[in-house]
Structure 1
Amino acid sequence: MWRYLALIAIMLAVVSAYNVRLSTADDYTTRFKTWMVEHNKMYHEEEEFYLRLSNFIRNIHSIEKMNRQYGRTATFGLNKFSDLSLDEFKKHYLMPNYKPKARVTKETFNYPSNIPATLDWRTKGYVTPVKNQLMCGSCWAFSATEQIETANIMAGGQVEYLSEQQIVDCDPYDGGCGGGDPYTAYQYVQNNGGLTLNVTYPYTAANGACYANSTAPAVQVTAFGYASSQGNETQLREAMAARGPLSICVNAEPWMSYQSGIFSSTCSDDLDHCVQIVGYDTDATSKTPYFIVRNSWGTDWGLLGYIYIQAGSNLCGITNEVTYVSVHPDSSNTVNYHKMH
């Protein structure tokens, strides 16, 4: 009972903090119940309901603030994360304790500079469909797996949906749902002799016991490394033009309520999320340059699972950790168009 009363007090405090009248609070409750139906959410305890309602109200005001400040180029709105606190969102969908691996050598990159003005590797068939990591900080495994899938297609292999779960369970260098690094994920896959198919080792969104030894590898990693220098967006474009889509790690905390447009919000370079960058373009109306980034939060987030990041200022640390991978495809496998997770 005391927890219930405490949560009621928290909700009233939230209402008071945003100068919400009681009649408006009722409106928020109605709006929240509509959102619950739209997102198939159900709370079995009143304490949980009021906790989620409090988060919902906070997120509405955060969204309104984001749209006031950055609505010229992007739109923010309610989505499937809107009943979460920011701390919950970071815990379950990001890597709040992520520390990038130190680069032990200084690389030199020499790419052709005569690159196209716009580039979108999705149109070439080199990008597999958007996936969903669910409530597990496995973005790094998704980013690495997506990069291996892309490299496999570019190397002439067939379209394969590979196993993120194998990396989550078996990679000894990283932390499963607690976070990790695409670079060391490639290292694991190379040392293991390859990565198997998702249909053979399906995703569970939880840490599990490794059973890779009982599966057959579908794609073998032959080489991997950093693809561009930190802070150099021109080189990032050149690397994409030369190598194709690339794995990147970014700061994604402000992406929680992103819906559409070119993201230009204040965003630090404290990396907490790994994704795949697939191209770049310039908005025809505003002339704003941007990068095209594939996320792993499902197609019901953002632009069918993608986000456009404004170029020009290393926003969200987009150049800070950029990696590539080379593979040897296993031609004995057939095309595996099975249900995506």
Structure 2
Amino acid sequence: MDDLFSDALRQLLADQCTPAVVRQIEASGDGAALWAHIDSSGFADALVAEAQGGSGLSLREAQDVMALCGRYTVPVPLAETMMARSVLAQAGLSEVGLVDSAWADAAKGSITLAQGRLADDGSLMCANVQLGRVADAVLVSDAQHTWLLSTQHAQSSPASFVLDADLRWSPEHVAAGVKLPKHQDVRLLLGCINAAQLSGALLAVFNNTLQYANDRVQFGKAIGKFQAIQHQLSVMAEHSFAAHMAAQLGCASDTAVPDRVRVAVAKARTSEAALEVASLSHSIHGAIGFTREFDLQLFTRRLHAWRQSGGAESYWHTVLGHELVDNRSGLVLDLIRSATDVTA
């Protein structure tokens, strides 16, 4: 089933999510048309159980689908909505379970994920909300609570990445939002999603750079024939394929719930790879890679944004360190083996 989903999504994105469309959405902040194409095809409900109207995919089966969001630089929150709708369905708060029709519409739309900070006055602030400009709602968690909040009710200001936003909800809108009965670790969900998206974007950058090196002729031969360029390409390949394997680890679950240790391995490794591959790809492309008209920057800007979102490698290295130090169930080697076994 995962192959059927990924093949179908690949065809849809190749047709509907071209670089020109990505540029248009980045410029306008309006991804409604693209989202309508994606949502009507059922991909956003991939992780929702069949009994609740979804496709019932596990994270393992949905990994390729999320990686395609990176491969095609999807400028709407498809992977995030897949995870958010799964969380809402598990909490019994899917659109059929929401009494207020306005919130039912929010649950049907695009949903991104964010960490928030509840102020003393009851307002809620979220910095650098991934795709906050184009999402209909946000699944927000602080240290204790998780809410579904509409972006229409938030004060929005620009964030570092073009489609991200800093969002603030007033105490009244926080109180009127949907509060989930169980707290969710949104950073864990974002880490899992972005590891998969990074893996797709990294392989795309490597393949595009390899093609460029074979096509670009300098001093009478393709630059890919020069030993220095070949070395850079080999390092890119190493990082890209290691990141792909790490993302598989992060999604190695037969449910829709990610494992914390596996996600820590996946996000740390893919974030490390993002820095190296972005740097080497621009080095090989030279000045043209930085231009707005060239497609490379569509990918490398996202590599840097997704590296930070959900925790960079330093955060997840710390998580892994605590897990190793606090492991009381057996040998450290046993923990490493269990965390890196994709068949478990």
Larger RCO (CA within 8 A; separation ≥ 6): 1
Point out the structure with the larger strand share. 1
TM-score computed with the length of structure 1 as normaliser: 0.25
TM-score computed with the length of structure 2 as normaliser: 0.25
The structure with the larger Rg is 1
